[in-house]
């Protein structure tokens, strides 16, 4: 009898399923606002110029393909830690913070989940409702109990008071996941005053913050976006931060990221890092080298770093302009006010406020693809689409 006879089929990732549906659509006006990748005006997800230059240099200078260590490429982790915690971070100077290289931000989240499960048993992890769907499945797969605090309500508003009230009821010592910026899927971020209020509750209840930092540079800029991460790391004894180079370096498939830890003492950091290396050994042994080497090249070279910063800024500005452009295109239909939140949200994603029925009509009648919850990837728009998009939105929301 076949061993696999008992294996049931499970549905594929709904977002990735959208890619197939989009590809097989023959409508020349089709628009893909589904999967979360940045696109240029030609609809491509380009390789950054700074990355190409670094890759050319690597091709010439690389001398080995031997394994890199359990914590990854030291040049990469040192530079990435400065990018996240700040060039003159006192935590880094005091050896109270460090980075472990991981396969993308997802790898960093999984490593964090496994670490919590193994070293801090019995603690739940609290996620925003809604959150990136992989958070839900990934932490459950790591053996953690997953719970939720409110974040965006059905009327498509950030419900900060409800969030804060829920955080105040979280059992002491539990883990709370926060999105550093560009909240996925909603695009709604906390303002500095709200961050300080969250910090006060986290401190008061002795919660462990796990800050997901997947979009550094896409909200207000590379430095400004790190503000909350740096505030929490400066004010609290222990913080976990997951960083992804997928979006801001455009290195998606190279699986480049890191789990950063700040700890009360340099000595305790060594203990924590010993656990991380041991856990990573069972997950992926050692991380992939190429993407990290590219990032290290860029961050270690002043002129390459400047070029990269300009490229990130150009992506950020383009997304902000597309948000405003869509609002302008919605104006003739009297809808600019109703969708004003699209201009206030930040990063690649927008909770448009369109309901599943409207999303379905956009897809069936206009070949516009977005996630059923009404999440649109703003970076998938193009200035030439905006009138078409606005007309379609007006039709389905009439």
247 catalytic residue (yes or no):
yes
Binding to ligand PLP (CB under 6 A) within 233-262 occurs at 244, 246, 252, 257
Q: How far is CA 257 from CA 57, 80, 318, in A?
A: 21, 9, 24
Candidates 189, 238, 247, 308; catalytic one: 247
The answer to whether 325 contacts ligand PLP (rule: CB under 6 A) is no
Candidates 32, 174, 212, 225; catalytic one: 212
Q: Are 162 and 195 in contact (CB under 8 A)?
A: no
Does the CA dihedral 383-18-349-307 come out positive or negative?
Answer: negative
Question: Residue 121 and residue 101: Cα distance in Å, rounded?
Answer: 24
The answer to whether 186 contacts ligand PLP (rule: CB under 6 A) is no
52 catalytic residue (yes or no):
no
Q: Are 139 and 117 in contact (CB under 8 A)?
A: no
User: Both tokens of residue 398?
Assistant: 């009439």
Rounded to a whole number of angstroms, the minimum distance from the CB of residue 131 to ligand PLP is: 7
DSSP string, 241-290: EEEE-TTTS--GGG--EEEEEE-SSHHHHHHHHHHHHHHHHHHTSS--SH
Binding to ligand PLP (CB under 6 A) within 164-183 occurs at none
In which element (H, E) is residue 139 found?
helix 133-141
Which C-beta is closer to ligand PLP: that of 214 or that of 261?
A: 214
Question: Residue 241 and residue 46: Cα distance in Å, rounded?
Answer: 27
In which element (H, E) is residue 148 found?
strand 145-150
Rounded to a whole number of angstroms, the minimum distance from the CB of residue 352 to ligand PLP is: 17
Which C-beta is closer to ligand PLP: that of 68 or that of 392?
A: 68
Rounded to a whole number of angstroms, the minimum distance from the CB of residue 212 to ligand PLP is: 5
Pairing of strands 175-179, 124-129: parallel
Which C-beta is closer to ligand PLP: that of 181 or that of 386?
A: 181
The answer to whether 89 contacts ligand PLP (rule: CB under 6 A) is no
Q: Are 202 and 212 in contact (CB under 8 A)?
A: no
Pairing of strands 349-351, 375-377: antiparallel
Site string for ligand PLP, 257-286 (x = CB under 6 A): x-----------------------------
User: Both tokens of residue 65?
Assistant: 């393909």
Which C-beta is closer to ligand PLP: that of 38 or that of 339?
A: 38
Question: Residue 316 and residue 104: Cα distance in Å, rounded?
Answer: 20
Question: Residue 108 and residue 275: Cα distance in Å, rounded?
Answer: 14
Which of 77, 89, 106, 345 forms a contact with ligand PLP (CB under 6 A)? Answer: 106
Which C-beta is closer to ligand PLP: that of 99 or that of 327?
A: 99
The answer to whether 32 contacts ligand PLP (rule: CB under 6 A) is no
132 catalytic residue (yes or no):
yes
Residues contacting ligand PLP: total by CB under 6 A: 12
Rounded to a whole number of angstroms, the minimum distance from the CB of residue 218 to ligand PLP is: 11
Candidates 32, 126, 132, 238; catalytic one: 132
Which of 76, 85, 132, 218 forms a contact with ligand PLP (CB under 6 A)? Answer: 132
The answer to whether 104 contacts ligand PLP (rule: CB under 6 A) is yes
Supply the residues annotated as catalytic.
132, 212, 247
Interface ranges with ligand PLP (CB under 6 A): 36, 104-106, 132, 184, 212, 214, 244, 246, 252, 257
């Amino acid at each position: 009898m076949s061993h696999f006879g008992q294996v049931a089929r499970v549905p594929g990732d709904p977002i990735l399923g959208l890619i197939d549906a989009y590809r097989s659509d023959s409508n020349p006006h089709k628009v893909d606002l589904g999967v979360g990748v940045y696109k240029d005006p030609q609809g491509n997800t380009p390789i950054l110029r700074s990355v190409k230059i670094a890759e050319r240099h690597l091709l010439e200078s690389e001398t080995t393909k031997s394994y890199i260590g359990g914590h990854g490429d030291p040049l990469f982790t040192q530079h990435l830690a400065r990018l996240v915690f700040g060039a003159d971070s006192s935590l880094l100077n005091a050896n109270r913070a460090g980075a472990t290289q991981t396969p993308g931000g997802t790898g960093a989240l999984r490593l964090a989940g496994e670490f919590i499960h193994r070293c801090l048993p019995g603690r739940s992890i609290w996620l925003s409702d809604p959150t990136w769907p992989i958070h839900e499945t990934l932490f459950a797969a790591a053996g953690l109990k997953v719970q939720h605090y409110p974040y965006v309500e059905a009327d498509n508003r950030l419900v900060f008071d409800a969030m804060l009230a829920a955080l105040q009821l979280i059992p002491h010592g539990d883990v709370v996941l926060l999105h550093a910026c560009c909240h996925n899927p909603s695009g709604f971020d906390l303002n500095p005053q709200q961050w300080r209020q969250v910090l006060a509750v986290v401190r008061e209840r002795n919660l462990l913050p796990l800050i997901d930092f997947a979009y550094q540079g896409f909200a207000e800029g590379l430095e400004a976006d790190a503000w909350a991460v740096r505030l929490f790391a400066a004010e609290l004894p222990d913080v976990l931060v997951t960083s992804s180079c997928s979006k801001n370096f455009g290195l998606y498939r190279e699986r480049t990221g890191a789990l950063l830890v700040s700890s009360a003492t340099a000595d305790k950091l060594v203990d924590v890092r010993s656990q991380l290396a041991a856990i990573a050994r069972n997950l992926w042994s050692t991380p992939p080298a190429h993407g990290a080497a590219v990032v290290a090249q860029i961050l270690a070279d002043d002129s390459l770093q400047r070029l990269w910063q300009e490229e990130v800024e150009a992506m950020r500005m383009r997304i902000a302009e597309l948000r405003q452009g869509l609002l302008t295109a919605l104006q003739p239909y009297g809808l600019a006010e109703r969708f004003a939140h699209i201009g206030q949200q930040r990063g690649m994603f927008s909770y448009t406020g369109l309901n599943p029925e409207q999303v379905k009509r956009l897809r069936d009648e206009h070949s516009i693809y977005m996630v059923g919850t009404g999440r649109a990837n703003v970076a998938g728009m193009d200035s030439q689409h905006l009138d078409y998009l606005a007309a379609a939105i007006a039709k389905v929301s009439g």
